[in-house]
Amino acid sequence: MRSFSKSKALFKKAVNLMPGGVNSPVRAFKAVGGNPLFISRAKGSRIYDVDGNEYIDYVLSWGPMILGHAHPAVVGALRKAIERGTSFGAPTPLEIELAEMVLKAYPSMEKIRMVNSGTEATMSAIRAARGFTGRDKIIKFEGCYHGHADGLLVKAGSGATTFGVPDSPGVPKSYAKNTITLPFNDPAALKAVIEKDWKEIACVIVEPVVGNIGCVLSRPGFLKTLKTLTKKHGIVLIFDEVMTGFRVAYGGAQARFGIKPDMTCLGKVIGGGLPVGAYGGKREIMEKIAPEGPVYQAGTLSGNPIAMTAGIETLKILSKKGVYDKLEERALELESALKDAAQKSRTEVKFYRAGTMFCTYFTGMEVVDYESAKSSDTVKFGKFFKGMLERGINLAPSQFEAGFISMAHTRADIAKTARAAFEVFKGL
């Protein structure tokens, strides 16, 4: 049995200092029971808690650490960058370097603005879309989570669903009324609303793979319909690729599925583990942003040189030939191994994957939207989570989050994970 006594003692202190003892709700173990692990360090595919326990990590800081933790090239570049100063509040060549790398990988983006988080990216992109179209309403899909800005916490996934508050108190009704929510993967519902109300609709924002209710893939044709309808009615199509960007392919979901949105939001991987977000898109939309245009958006630390450095070094490695083939191969190994473990243990699970994002649901239903994701037996998930943790496998402490694989995950890691899953499945 592993000891968690130091984590427990720290959590006891933390709950008196921070709401729920954490600085972001999804970190708490509320949905699975117990208290969060306090982490002391991480390297490659491994993460270590303050009690000295080692885990194979599939959380990867909720996605950014695609190279694995503390990659030597990133750490080395960061050391040098810190020596030169940590923030200037003025332009640096690093911003240009990262912007060029991103725009080259995402041809749908002609201009980009760096911000500090995914929340900032989506909030600002929506403001730009509203400023550009002169319309107020937005469409989002049930279970998609686009950060915690007012107006987006409506039928939101991630921690909002995990903790049963998809519609957060504190969001004025007057904000929420401008957010239309529709089921994901339902082209008829989308068509009906857009055909009727398009004159009022500024944008549709979507996670092209819904990573905030696990890992929900779009049905064939759904994203294409989205593109056709938005284009026809002058509605801005925003892909929230905070999770999928540089993750499901170097060019993100838009490259993987061959759909060009009008705007894209990024975060996670482009910061290489530091706080970064970005939004961008068509020139005529981005030209509305201050100081070029009247739509205001700003940030003291935006384009921070340390964060830019981590992003640049990460993308340099990811852009090398064969990296995504290797990632895909490893992810497929995990998929086959977990499906095999489920079959051999006669456990009813559904496993979904897009590149190196994945989720295991305990349901007999195909998971295609918010409602079907919620059909998963979360009590079983909690037992699965705990059993895996006891065996040294760190998964997200919620059914409604994606798992991630990094370049540092080895065949041996996958094999160990599958053995643990078999044992846990058998005991469920």
| Cα–Cα distance, 32 to 212 (Å, whole number) | 17
Question: How does DSSP classify residue 403?
Answer: E
26 binds ligand HOZ (CB under 6 A): yes
Catalytic, 268? Answer yes
Nearer to ligand HOZ, 121 or 190 (CB): 121
Cis peptide before 291 (omega within 30 of 0): yes
> Given 30, 137, 140, 268, which residue is catalytic?
268
Nearer to ligand HOZ, 158 or 378 (CB): 158
62 binds ligand HOZ (CB under 6 A): yes
One-letter identity of residue 217 = L
> Given 55, 58, 106, 145, which residue is catalytic?
145
C-beta of residue 426 within 8 angstroms of C-beta of residue 416: no
- In angstroms, give the least distance from the CB of 376 to ligand HOZ: 16
Q: Report helix, strand or coil for 57.
A: strand
Catalytic, 106? Answer no
Strand 236-240 relative to strand 263-266, pairing:
parallel
Nearer to ligand HOZ, 400 or 422 (CB): 400
406 binds ligand HOZ (CB under 6 A): no
86 binds ligand HOZ (CB under 6 A): no
401 binds ligand HOZ (CB under 6 A): yes
Count of residues that bind ligand HOZ according to CB under 6 A: 8
159 binds ligand HOZ (CB under 6 A): yes
Q: Name residues contacting ligand HOZ, limited to 199-218 (CB under 6 A).
A: 212
C-beta of residue 80 within 8 angstroms of C-beta of residue 58: no
19 binds ligand HOZ (CB under 6 A): no
C-beta of residue 115 within 8 angstroms of C-beta of residue 156: no
Nearer to ligand HOZ, 95 or 241 (CB): 241
Torsion, Cα of 50, 54, 55, 61 (10° steps): 40
Nearer to ligand HOZ, 137 or 146 (CB): 146
> Which of 5, 24, 336, 343 is the binder for ligand HOZ (CB under 6 A)?
24
Q: Which residues of 87-123 are buried (b: 16+ CB within 10 A; e: fewer)?
A: eeeeebebbebbbebbeebbebbebbbbbbbbbbbbb
Write the CA distances from 428 to 71, 167, 197, 342, 386, integer angstroms. Answer: 36, 32, 48, 11, 11
Catalytic, 370? Answer no
98 binds ligand HOZ (CB under 6 A): no
Q: Which residues of the chain form contacts with ligand HOZ (CB under 6 A)?
A: 24, 26, 62, 145, 158-159, 212, 401
Q: Which residues are catalytic?
A: 145, 240, 268
